[in-house]
Structure 1
Amino acid sequence: MFARTLKYIKDAQILPRISDTERQALEAGSVWIDGEFFSGNPDFQSMMGEAYPALSSEEQAFLDGPVEELLHRVDSWKLRNTRRIDDDTWSFLREKGFFGLIIPKEYGGSGFSTLGRSSVMMKTSQLGPVGTLIVIPNTLGAAELLIAYGTEQQKDHYLPRLATGELVPCFGLTEPTAGSDAASIKAEGRVFKDEDGEIKVKLNFAKRYITLAPIANLVSLACQLHDPDNLLGKGELPGISVILLEKGMDGLYLGDHHLPIGAFDNGPIFGEDVVAPVDHIIGGPDMAGQGWRMLMEQLGGGRAVSLPAGGVASAKAAASAVGPYSIVREQFNIPVGLMEGVSAKIARTTALAYIMESSRIYVCAGVDRGHHPPVISAILKQQTTELGQSCLIDGMDVMAGAGVMQGPNNILGDGYKSAPVAVTVEGANILTRTLMIFGQGAVRCHPYALPTLEAVQNDDVDAFRKAILGWMRHSVTNFGRGIVRGITRGATVKAPVDDETARYFKKLGWASSRFAFLTDLAMFFVGGKLKQRGKLSGRFADALSWMVFSITTLRRFQAEGARKEDLPVVHWAMKYSLLQIQQAFDGIYGNFGGPIGWILKYPGRFFLRINPLSNGPSDSEDRAAAAAIQSPGEQYQRIALGGLGSPLPESPGMGRLLHAWRLVCEAQAPTFKIKKALHKKQIKAANLLEAVPEAVKAGIVTNDEAEQIKRAEKARLDAIQVDVFDKDDYYLDSLSDIPVKTRFGSEDANDDETMAEPALARAAND
């Protein structure tokens, strides 16, 4: 019976087939808390026991010292307009060790933890090109690959020079026809013997979108390695390999720029008959063909570091600005932050900043403990970059004209413009959500899916029998468990805490049972078509993502001492997260398709809606959550501004806003006295400042209080002003001030061509 069933499943392609590259991706990294949610019965005690550490004293000192100094040294407005990092900044970065954060101390680096590096990246992300210059050497690239796979000789040669900034790296992966589908790269490396009998590699390639390429002098190049004479003993097609190339090698051209949003250094790389010794393969000849595994393993960790750090920084930047601005800015004689529509935006930004920071620390700590979770990393990359962008959009809405008008005093505009970059890099978010998170997770994290797939592909009847029986037990158990938990609204789930947040563990256990059972239905009834059903798999990805965010949020709350003042933010965050899970389930039920789909769409969806996980936060909860960042103090620092730096009061933008906010809040009590007197018509005046002298005469406020109000009102007016430019600063003299030159393609170019034409490469070198 099992043999016939196996044959039927294989012939009917009920289950998705795994390609060689997909197998390598599935085997890379590790299953972590994602596996708990696919089990249908997560071990919350274990998940809450995961580390949630603070930075080491050395890392904190670096953030408080060199990083803080860097923030004050760099003129972000000037940098974004000139696009040039000055020599003084370069020297400071090299002197203080910014390029060697990832490199072990024995090679001259700092050997920072993943959390430490992420924290530096988060704090410097507001520096545009300088922030990017710090990120690339300390995430996916030469140093990270060399540390993990390099030979001792390679480490000794390259790592010290990378640590000092003598070598500036870039990673040559993306091509015109290979973006999110990195396995389809066409860059070719052909193995041959030269006249002296030495084995070398001849490379031809055209790369684009390569960050730091215009200023780099060390390229980690991903290519398809061909070995027609089997000189390496790995067959004619060893596969994807990563080879180190240094600037100045014959045929290698780099130096031109693309002009990405945010204007950081990024450009193409061309190579025509570039010859490199075979020892330049990272890991040496023995690692030829292992490039795809390297990329999958390191991307799994890398997606948890740099891009989430930037996404969290965006959310915190928005929160740190809108909280103060909503109190400083008044309309209709009240702070705009007290209006319900505005407070709803601020509440969402506050809660998302709290959620995202919790996930950043939780996952970085996991990576430091040896986990390399590709699914969790993909979730962080996709969700934090999009949520960070949405927080900036909400922030722009709150700040209105002050967010739109550009200049040194604009706080959110540059981040708002740059946000799409993070959404598109290291795999566009559309594909990350619709293919990677659930597509990889359903196979890798499910307790029985991968063993079953392997048994089917290997025609192993015994392994298939064991796997399919286990899968059936798992599915039936989760079906029954889901029914019970649905009826009791999760009451049967054991929570690891005994406080106001216990209810959320119960709902998460309930959600996990439903998620696991729906995953089984999708695997059996959609199966091999899941790749094409991207919208369906995207909804599964959303449900998984928000379950992960929920557990990290609850872990943060407990790790920070279960502070009662944080409960309004935590309640808002959890109700919002559960609402996202509920909406994902609703989408799955409504679009599953087939006979099972009819059951889910009509009776199933009816019961889903009358017994929801959450209806979202209430209007009153908006106000309570927003209030957490509308008053100066430790809570505002911890949730919003903490980790982003401390702007000086005289610095433009954020500095002058925080200065005004502090003065306005300090003057609230005497200001309220005058407004109350105006309302009762005890004194008459057209506005607050005109009322101050009358209030002093009437004994409503003291002279000291009057001066306090005047200082606050002056600072308030300064803080809401926007930049003004005269015509000499505003206008460009001519269109020639914006030079445009294209090296890639022409009207006669073949759209299918993926390699740089030899003439094109020669012209570029000329």
Structure 2
Amino acid sequence: MPIELSPEVRQFCEALRRFLEHEVEPRSRWIEEHDTIPDELMQMARDLGLFGITIPEEYGGAGFDLAGKCAIEEELGKSNYGFASVIANHTGIATTGIVALGSAGQKRQYLPRMATGELIGCFALTEPQAGSDPAAMRTTAVKQGDRYVLDGEKIYITNAGIADVFTVMAVTDKAKGTKGISAFIVERGFPGLKVGRNELKMGMHGVSTAPVVLERCEVPVENRLGEEGMGYIQAMKTLTWGRVTIAARCVGMMDKLIARSAAYMKTRAQGGRRIAEYQGLQWMLADMAVARDASRLLVERALEIFARGERGTLEASVAKLFTTEALGKVADSAVQIHGGMGYMREAGIETMYRDSRITRIYEGTSEIQRNIIARELLKDG
């Protein structure tokens, strides 16, 4: 059964829809070509309250639950992917760790300013040798008196170029494997933290993706998130929730691609007929809609599982795997339906085709999702 959204979430989604249509979409081509989000658009997002949607009300946020976050992600999926990524990363993996594990002091210090967008967050897990295998992590955190000294390198960190607050995973006890990974709140101004040059990417234009280097970066003990060894556990929970929100965004992207394709089919003529009259293209459009609808149902199933307080590991991975793979096929079909126009930048279809590709890679590749699904199915009991 469909997830029931609160009146506050529905109202916010309506306001967001207008904002995306009137403010983001007119700037979308500029974002794509300049690979950055205009300052005035970031400020308008702050004014709308976008940066605080998942932060508890007591710290100045809206306090929306996962279902509310997914509803917003679906709307964001219908607009510029780079802009959506800035918001999604900040309101997802960049803040959930602090909300879940943060001490009262940490929450008071960071969350109110993260809710307003004064502070932008990012999540630093991936390393050159540790992407799908966090156990291979080499970044270390050695306790020395009242602080930890962090050394290591993170790569492909979303929002790194604009972030003020970094949630960094580092090894505090190598002998314990993943149970020896801890999480730290690292401020941009801490000595020893350096952000590298923005990477040039296939898609996701507008959002910063950069390496982060930690060279004897001193972090106060009070900036450790939770107990030692809790970092990996929280990271996995964060990524599980994040997989469902990515799936929701993919649903929104499919919505847009289907609408654009249907509109083009009704106006484009070939052989003396509108191409909407050709059965081959009709079937292609029908398959796109089936993939989108199935994806939405898988997102709703995962949300129902989480709402019941269950782990949802299987359902989250199924949702991410299916929807991201489906989006790839839908985007390819949209390019095919548009023909040569679909390959041209002016139509914007090729942009979504490029943007869609990352969804099968980050926050757990399709292969990792299959591993997780099989593992869950093969569990005893």
TM-score (norm 1): 0.48
Distance of 2:54 and 2:91 partners within structure 1:
5
**Equivalent in the alignment of 2:337:** 398
2:267 pairs, out of 310, 322, 328, with: 328
Amino acid in structure 1 at the alignment position of 2:242: G
- Kindly indicate whether the alpha-carbon contact (under 8 Å) linking 2:125 and 2:168 is maintained by their aligned counterparts in 1: yes
Shift of 1:238: 6.7
Q: What is the CA-CA distance between 1:363 and the residue it aligns to?
A: 2.0
Instruction: Give the structure 2 partner of residue 61 of structure 1.
Output: 11
Instruction: State yes or no: 1:191 paired with 2:139.
Output: no
Shift of 1:71: 3.0
**1:375 matched residue in structure 2:** 314
Structure of higher CA gyration radius: 1
Alpha-carbon shift at residue 227 of structure 1 (Å): 9.4
CA 61–417 in structure 1, closer or farther in 2 if over 3 Å, else same = same
Output the amino acid matched with 2:241.
G
Report the alpha carbon displacement of residue 342 of structure 1 after superposing the two structures with TM: 1.1
Tell me which amino acid in the other structure corresponds to 1:437. Answer: I
Map of 1:70 onto structure 2: 20
Counterpart in the other structure of 1:437: 373
Aligned-residue Cα RMSD (Å) equals 2.0
| 2: CA distance, partners of 1:237 / 1:87 | 39
Structure 2: any 5+ residue segments left out of the alignment? none
Whole-angstrom distance in 2 between the partners of 1:442 and 1:237? 22
**What amino acid maps onto 2:8 in structure 1?**
E
Please list the CA deviations of residues 535-586 of structure 1 after superposition, one character each: whole Å capped at 9, or x if unmatched: xxxxxxxxxxxxxxxxxxxxxxxxxxxxxxxxxxxxxxxxxxxxxxxxxxxx
2:255 aligns with: 316
Residues matched between the structures, number? 376
Match of 1:491 in 2: none
Which among 88, 101, 122 is matched to residue 170 of structure 1?
122
Distance 1:77 1:321 in 2: 17
Structure 1 runs (4+) greater than 3 angstroms displaced: 235-238
Q: Is 2:44 the counterpart of 1:92?
A: yes
SS at match of 2:244: coil
In the other structure, the counterpart of 2:89 is 136
Spell out the pairing of 1:446-461 with structure 2 (5 A cutoff).
Answer: 446-447=380-381
Task: Give, in whole Å, the separation in 2 of the partners of 1:348 and 1:73.
Answer: 32
Q: Which amino acid aligns with 1:394?
A: S
Do the aligned residues in 2 keep the contact of 1:253 with 1:270 (CA within 8 Å)?
Answer: yes
Please name the residue that 1:294 is paired with.
234
Seq. identity, %: 26
In the alignment, structure 1 residue 417 sits paired with structure 2 residue 358: no
Alignment partner, residue 214 of structure 1: 161
CA distance in 1 between counterparts of 2:102 and 2:292 reads 38
Q: 1:79: which partner in 2?
A: 31
Q: Does 1:244 align with 2:185?
A: yes
**Alignment check: 8 A CA contact 2:179 2:232 kept:** no
Q: Does 1:279 align with 2:210?
A: no
How much has 1:356 moved relative to structure 2?
1.1
Contact between 2:298 and 2:318, CA under 8 Å: does it hold in 1?
A: no
CA displacement at 1:190 relative to structure 2: 0.6
1:349 positional shift: 0.5
Say which is worse superposed, 261-270 or 294-303, in terms of deviation: 294-303
- 1:254 aligns with one of 171, 195, 218: 195
- TM-score, with structure 2 as normaliser: 0.94
SS at match of 1:259: coil
Q: CA deviation at 1:239?
A: 0.6
Q: CA deviation at 1:359?
A: 1.9
Amino acid at match of 1:303: R
Give SS of 1:162's match: helix
Return 5+ residue gaps in structure 1 as ranges: 1-50, 194-198, 229-234, 448-766
Q: Greater share of strand residues, 1 or 2? A: 2
Distance 2:301 2:375 in 1: 23
1:280-679 correspondence runs (5 A): 280-283=223-226, 287-305=227-245, 307-407=246-346, 410-433=347-370, 435-443=371-379, 446-447=380-381
Q: Deviations over 1:356-386 (max 9, x none)?
A: 1222233224323423311111111121111
Report the Cα offset of residue 277 of structure 1.
1.2
Deviation by residue 1:660-704 (Cα, 9 ceiling, x = unmatched): xxxxxxxxxxxxxxxxxxxxxxxxxxxxxxxxxxxxxxxxxxxxx
